[in-house]
Chains A and B, each alone.
Chain A
Amino acid sequence: MNNSSIVGISVPRKEGQDKVTGRAQYIDDIVLPGMWYGATVRSTIPRGRIKQITFGAEVAWDDYVIVSAKDIPGKNCIALIAEDQPCLAENCINHPEEPILLLAHADRHALAKAVNAISIEYDPSPAVLTLEESERCCDIIWGSDNTFKTYVIQKGDIDSAWAKAAYIVEGEYRTGAQEQLYIENNGMIAWFDPEHGITVWGSLQCPYYVHKALMTLCQLPAERVRVVQVETGGAFGGKEDYPSMIAGHAALLAIKTRKAVKIIYDRLEDMAATSKRHPSRTRHRTAVSKDGKILGGTIDFTIDGGAYTTLSPVVLSRGAIHAGGPYYWPSVRITAKALATNAPPHGAFRGFGAPQSLFAMERHMDRIAQIIGASPIVVRQRNFLKPGQTTITEQAVREPIDLEKLLDRALELSSYQSRKESFAEENESGEIKKGIGVAAFLHGAGFTGSGERYLGSVVGVEACADGAVRVLVSSTEFGQGTKTALSQVAAETLGLGYEDVDVAPADTMEVPNSGPTVASRTVMVVGSLVCSAALGIRHALRQSGWLGDSYSPEEFRAACRNYVAAHGALRSWSRYEAPPDIFWDDEKHRGEAYAAFAWAVYIASVRVDLTTYTVSVDDFVALQEVGRVLHPVLAAGQITGGVAQGIGLSLYEKVIWQNGRMQNSQMTNYIMPTSLDVPPIRVFFEELGNVHGAFGAKGIGELPIDGPAPAIANAVADALGAPCDCVPLLAEDIFDILTTRVATADRSGSPSR
């Protein structure tokens, strides 16, 4: 057997050559013979009824194919969790940019003018545009009380906590909507023929989500729907649910035109119409002992789901479970709600609710520190979860995590103490105020609770006629390195070279459902299944006598070739099975929420310029424990990328809403960080090992977006000596904080007795 390790080595990215040479084919690069182009006609109001649709006389409509809700063969919905979101609005409009009609034409240039030539008259109704309006229930826009989902997580006896408290600390924290801003806009191509059914190719994360949605929409059996992911130019959760909508639209046009139809969004449409990170409001009320120990508290976590359910219940769940941070709560009651507003539905974005609730938790820790007169470091140290203690869902911490040690190392790496001292001195004069802030946090890897059991993911590994090994998964590559990491896992498992293994295209005709590529689950959950499926191949080769007990990679390839020549295809399947000792009560959100957590401490150093009220991040230390690092370059790239997005969330990226509609849907006015806006992002790993994932790896993808916003807001608050409880913190927000600070200072904390 080949003893040289592949796991832990930065092997070349599988599809890397194609990407650096421009050969990689993304959806807009693909042209099918006779292909037409599709476009979407959307609502311009947040809520109301369609009165009349007029087709302007300046367009030769006979040259177009037009699809409305009446053309839908199956159910008019995007099947996901609930079935409340129509694929095309028929009468009722529930948000701006809601799809109403579809157009197709042979000439892509002929579409924009036609979309503009359609005028829609509405009977508008009052719209619900904020969480507070939704809560008041003056207008009911969803269900009986505008609430998609409520969770209550209860642990211990809170009443006695209030009684024992030396301080009761309250705070309210908010985060804004954030656009994923993958640089490749959404796009799909669909093709239909009565015999084969519908095929779509597209930029997407979850082939089987799209598959399910198309079966319902087109009323087709599973075998007559085929979904193929092509090279995908970034996703970050933004291509988890909305691609089902676009695939549905392309499919409807393909069915009616009997041609291949391509729909590519431009940036304006992609930003305005597709999902964003849920805006949130978190209220903390915490009982704290004299020496800074958390005794208990309540956390009200509320998110704005937009107009339809989409993924909001799941985002809410993850946000709620992370709301207590990496701390021990003897008692707590978390009330989590996802509310409806007349905005386009908010959806998945890296972190999935956790960045919102962790922002609140980590800002609140600094508030507790301020109110009890301790340092933010000490307050965290006093409350860190320790092995053997239980989380807010009463999950026992089994990993040997030492958060105090992690914090100490991060403090050292960031020169925390010496910076703190020199900043205090420097801040005494001048217009530049410097600050340093800490965030400690955790992120659960994989689906929550019983989620993985319900998914029942299946992975295949195939021995090919040429001797190579192929991994068969619906887990998709969109920049994170799925193909590379899963190839490493299979190669390491089998003692093969990295080049002996490849990953099959994510095509539902070819690969089983290994679950969606979300929730930091790919390497940990799918990777483990790849290991066992790969072992199944080896077992079969040995059983059949083609492979000995020890072998070289060349002998293994020969065994594959011989086996396939003699017996035909060799595939080995592995299905997820939940460990037997796992308990999870979904109703009460109690028990083993995650198979593993990743842990981290991030520290940001910032400067605020009081001439312009702008903040810049000077240094960023990201220290995390993510189990075994399978690929150092890819892992570091996940962290730096997540931190940069987190810097965007903290300081730059603000969606400006008017009547439920995004006003700044361009890259020139929705501001993401450029190469001049990121500090040196210094990445460090601790490796404790973990029994759950492939070769001890845990999830890594989402973790890095949880920490930057609280670390940066804490640093800005440190610099200004004023609370910064909402992100993003644009210069205008800093200006508002400073000019209204007298009115709001210290309104929130009071000694209770």
Chain B
Amino acid sequence: MSNSHEISGRREFCFTVNGERKTVPAYPMERLLDVLRHQLRLTGTKEGCGEGECGSCAVLMDGILVNSCLVPLLQAQNANILTIEGLAGAGLHNLQQAFLHCGGTQCGICTPGMILAALYLLKKNPFPTIEDIREGLSGSLCRCTGYMQIFEAVEEAARRQTSDEV
């Protein structure tokens, strides 16, 4: 019965994830989130709400922070995606270190999206005020920390990043 609704077959989609070229067979309306998690097994990107409210599924798409639960795969065709798995180099990224040091991660489920939101914030605004941080992270919900230690982590990362550049 379900075949009568099958109107758009699977086909191959290409994009770059964490610097690697990927080709996946998929339906065009599959959510980028599901393709990352299920096909590519990049499970660091989390689903918290499935409606773009919690930010747990945030990734960078062509340098822009997006909620991957709201991106149909077709729109990620040929895009350059960064997920939490692509952040660390030889060692932890500055932000990852700061989150660890300041207590910015507790249960950890919001952490990947939160770190990517912080990364995007610092990219656009390397010297954020506390108000900038509060606003920049307001699309990422955390139920454990009450946000204070996340703010501290972003402030610390910003300090380290600027002192590294100096």
Contacts and interface: CB of A to CB of B under 8 A. Distances in A.
Q: Do chains A and B touch in the complex (CB under 8 A)?
A: yes
Interface of A: 10, 12-13, 15-26, 28-29, 31, 57-60, 110, 113, 180-185, 231-236, 266-267, 478-481, 633-634, 636-637, 639-645, 666-668, 672, 674-676, 678, 680-681, 683
Given A13-B100, A666-B51, A641 B109 contact: no
A181 B133 CA distance: 23
B31 to A, nearest CB: 11
A478 B148 CA distance: 19
Contacts of A183: 46, 48, 54, 56, 107, 109-110, 141-143
Contacts of A643: 146
Which DSSP category, helix, strand, loop or mixed, fits chain A's interface? loop
Interface residues of B, number: 56
Interface in B53-68: 53-54, 56
Nearest to B95: A20
B48 A185 contact: yes
Contacts of A15: 108
A672 B138 CA distance: 11
Nearest to A635: B103
Interface in B123-158: 133-135, 137-151
24 contacts: A17-B100, A20-B111, A20-B115, A21-B85, A21-B96, A22-B43, A23-B85, A25-B43, A31-B41, A57-B1, A59-B1, A182-B109, A183-B48, A183-B142, A185-B48, A235-B107, A633-B149, A637-B148, A637-B149, A674-B139, A674-B141, A675-B134, A678-B147, A681-B148
B146 A681 contact: yes
Contacts of A637: 103, 106, 144-146, 148-149
B49 interface: yes
B149 A19 contact: no
B103 A634 contact: yes
Contacts of A19: 105, 108, 111
B47 A28 contact: yes
Given A183-B56, A640-B149, A58 B143 contact: no
A633 B48 contact: no
Contacts of B100: 12-13, 16-17, 20
Given A20-B115, A23-B44, A58-B1, A480 B87 contact: no
B49 to A, nearest CB: 4
Nearest to B150: A675
Contacts of A667: 48-49, 51, 53-54, 141
A60 B133 CA distance: 51
A675 B88 contact: no
A642 B150 CA distance: 15
A10 B100 CA distance: 11
Contact of A641 (B49, B51, B108, B143): B143
A676 B135 CA distance: 6
Contacts of A184: 46, 48, 107, 109
A21 B84 contact: yes
Contacts of B144: 234, 479, 637, 641
Interface secondary structure of B, over-half rule: loop
A675 B112 contact: no
A640 B135 contact: no
Contacts of A60: 1-2
Contacts of A233: 46, 107-109
A26 B111 contact: no
B50 interface: yes
B143 A26 contact: no
Contacts of B47: 28, 185
Given A60-B2, A681-B146, A21 B87 contact: yes
Contacts of B40: none
Contact of B105 (A16, A236, A267): A16
Contact of A22 (B51, B84, B103, B135): B84
Contacts of A181: 143
Interface string B16-27: 000000000000
A18 B109 CA distance: 11
Contacts of B37: 28-29
Given A183-B56, A676-B138, A640 B51 contact: no
A37 to B, nearest CB: 11
A675 B149 contact: no
A360 to B, nearest CB: 24
A5 B36 CA distance: 44
B50 A266 contact: yes
B85 A22 contact: yes
A675 B43 contact: no
A444 B67 CA distance: 42
B134 A676 contact: yes
A370 B3 CA distance: 71
Nearest to A110: B2
Given A20-B99, A479-B106, A675-B151, A234 B143 contact: yes
Contacts of B101: 12
A662 to B, nearest CB: 15
A26 B46 contact: yes
B37 to A, nearest CB: 8
A642 B146 contact: yes
A234 B140 contact: no
Nearest to A637: B103
Q: Which of A20, A231, A668 has the most chain B CB atoms closer than 10 A to its own CB?
A: A20
A634 B135 CA distance: 25
Of the candidates B48, B85, B103, B143, the one having the most CB atoms from chain A within 10 angstroms of its own CB is B143
B12 to A, nearest CB: 19
Given A639-B146, A642-B146, A675-B135, 6 more contacts: A113-B2, A184-B48, A633-B149, A667-B54, A668-B49, A675-B150
Nearest to B99: A20
A641 B146 contact: yes
A267 B112 CA distance: 19
B120 to A, nearest CB: 14
A636 to B, nearest CB: 7
Nearest to A182: B143
A22 B112 contact: yes
Contacts of B142: 183, 675
B51 to A, nearest CB: 6
A183 B134 CA distance: 19
A57 B1 CA distance: 9
10 shortest interchain CB distances as A-B pairs? A22-B44, A233-B109, A479-B107, A19-B108, A644-B146, A640-B146, A22-B84, A29-B43, A479-B106, A667-B53
B107 A232 contact: yes
Contacts of A29: 37, 43
A235 B46 CA distance: 16
Nearest to A648: B143
A672 B143 contact: yes
A634 B106 CA distance: 8
A667 B41 CA distance: 26
B56 to A, nearest CB: 6
Interface in B61-104: 83-85, 87-88, 92, 96, 99-103
Contacts of B84: 21-22
Contacts of B92: 17, 20-21
Contacts of B42: 22
B99 to A, nearest CB: 5
A672 B49 CA distance: 13
Contact of B50 (A234, A267, A481): A267
Contact of A636 (B105, B143, B149): B149
Contacts of B85: 21-23
